[in-house]
């Protein structure tokens, strides 16, 4: 039988690994904010203004990853131990999250071109995949009684489940709107991470989720 301290060590290692992946993703996002090679004192303002998609996509991507990290951290507060299904699904979710710097770079480079609808659809589409993997992970936490805290606060569980469920239709809407208005699609992505930030604002400690 696995002792309590061994189970804590197991989940701590998994969370530390996950935190490292999130940290690398955010670092790669920051590295995309580069000074253009053709910039000079005379055209500095003009060039910076032309690169506004880089700033917006970085801002939205950064806070999207930040909110994912916060929610991921909260999920670990429900866990007593991690079984294989949780470990592999956690890895799948991290794999898809690691694509965010690539899609952000696409938006930064092509949002002001004729390919703006396509790159924005790809950007929203990656968040659909992340949301599916996140909901799948959360499903395992809720349904596997050997994994979750048996005394979890049902109101908080229900609120988190509803908040995560909104992501799929929300990002699907954003993906479809990309072919009508890429900017409006981007704003839908922006509003979704605000929704999750608000949903988790009252979940601060493990005591908050235990009845």
Please write the tens of the pLDDT for every residue from 145-194. Answer: 555 555 566 777 787 788 888 889 999 999 999 999 999 998 898 888 78
pLDDT 10s digits, 21-31: 999 999 888 87
pLDDT for 18? 92
Let me know: does 149 contact 211? Beta carbons within 8 Å: no
The stretches of the chain forming alpha helices (DSSP H) are 4-31, 44-50, 52-76, 84-97, 100-110, 116-143, 154-177, 182-199
The least confident of 22-26, 52-56, 125-129, 181-185 is 52-56
Task: List residues bridging with 152 in a β-sheet.
Answer: 210
pLDDT for 166? 87
Higher pLDDT, 53 or 151: 53
pLDDT for 154? 75
The one-character DSSP state at 113 is S
pLDDT for 2? 46
| Distance between start and end Cα atoms, the chain | 27
Let me know: does 108 contact 36? Beta carbons within 8 Å: no
């Amino acid at each position: 039988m696995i002792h309590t301290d061994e189970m804590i060590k197991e989940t701590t290692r998994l969370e530390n690994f996950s935190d490292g992946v999130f940290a690398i993703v955010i670092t790669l996002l920051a590295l995309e904010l580069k000074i253009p090679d053709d910039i000079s004192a005379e055209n500095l303002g003009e060039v910076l203004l032309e690169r506004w998609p880089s700033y917006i996509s970085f801002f939205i991507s950064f806070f999207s990853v930040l909110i994912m990290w916060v929610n991921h951290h909260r999920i670990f507060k429900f866990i007593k131990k991690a079984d294989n299904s949780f470990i592999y699904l956690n890895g799948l979710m991290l794999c898809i999250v690691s694509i965010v710097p690539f899609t952000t770079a696409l938006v930064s480079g092509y949002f002001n071109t004729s390919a703006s609808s396509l790159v924005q659809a790809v950007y929203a589409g990656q968040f659909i995949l992340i949301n599916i993997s996140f909901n799948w992970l959360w499903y395992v936490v809720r349904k596997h009684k050997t994994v979750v805290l048996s005394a979890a606060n049902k109101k908080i569980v229900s609120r988190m489940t509803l908040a995560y469920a909104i992501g799929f239709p929300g990002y699907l809407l954003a993906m479809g709107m990309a072919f009508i208005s890429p900017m409006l699609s981007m704003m839908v992505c922006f509003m979704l991470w605000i929704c999750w930030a608000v949903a988790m604002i009252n979940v601060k400690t493990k005591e908050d989720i235990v009845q």
